[in-house]
Amino acid sequence: MDKKKMWTKGIKRDILLLVFLFLTGAVIFIAVIFGSVRGNFVKVNVDGRLIAIYPLSENKTVEINGAGGTNTLVIENGESYIRDADCPDRLCVSQGKISRRGQSVICLPHKVVVEITDENGNASVSAESDADIVVR
């Protein structure tokens, strides 16, 4: 290991890599932000299978039967969130409200994915299509 006087040796390479990593993160961030359009529907998946689609415009409370437990989904004023769940970590509850296309709330223990989609009922905003939007 270099001693004090040499501590700047080769630091340019580190800075270059860090700048590169930062920019990559920024590109991902911009791609996600640009791809975020208000969605119209809430899609509920359990274990990769589509269970239901609800319009975001209609206030509603639904019990989702996940794998090994239930999550209470609330649609309110164009936003959707999980109000309650009997999973151990309850991370889905703390994930907050979603309303933009491609946003999701996920309960890993119950394999529940609540996702905002566009009119066609497709969650077309994947990582790839986000990137496309930015590139073109």
Partner 1 sequence: MKNDKRKFSGAERTAAYAMLIALALVFSWLEAQIPAFFAVPGMKLGLTNIVVLIALYRFGSAQAMAVNILRIVLVSVLFGGPWAMIYSLAGGMLSAIVMIILKKTGLFRIVTVSIAGGISHNAGQIIAAMIVMNTAAIAWYLAVLWFTGMLSGALIGILGYEMIKRLPERVFGKGE
CA distance 15 to 19: 6
| Cβ neighbours of 82 (radius 10 Å) | 25
Token pair recorded at residue 111: 């394999």
Could you tell me if 43 and 50 are in contact, meaning their C-beta atoms sit under 8 angstroms apart? Answer: yes
Total interface residues for partner 1 by CB under 8 A = 36
Q: Is 28 in the site for partner 1 (CB under 8 A)?
A: yes
- Restricting to residues 77-96, which ones interact with partner 1 according to CB under 8 A? 91, 94-95
Q: Which of 41, 42, 85, 115 binds partner 1 (CB under 8 A)?
A: 115
Report the sign of the C-alpha dihedral through residues 43, 44, 46, 50, in that order: negative
Could you tell me if 114 and 98 are in contact, meaning their C-beta atoms sit under 8 angstroms apart? Answer: yes
Q: Which of 64, 75, 85, 123 binds partner 1 (CB under 8 A)?
A: 123
For 106, phi and psi rounded to 5 degrees?
-125, 135
Q: Which of 78, 106, 118, 134 binds partner 1 (CB under 8 A)?
A: 106
Report which DSSP code applies to 88: S
Q: Which of 4, 11, 119, 120 binds partner 1 (CB under 8 A)?
A: 11
Q: Is 65 in the site for partner 1 (CB under 8 A)?
A: no
Q: Is 3 in the site for partner 1 (CB under 8 A)?
A: no
Binding site for partner 1 (CB under 8 A): 1, 10-11, 13-14, 17-18, 21-22, 24-25, 28-29, 31-33, 45, 48, 91, 94-95, 102-104, 106, 108-109, 111, 113, 115, 123, 125-128, 130
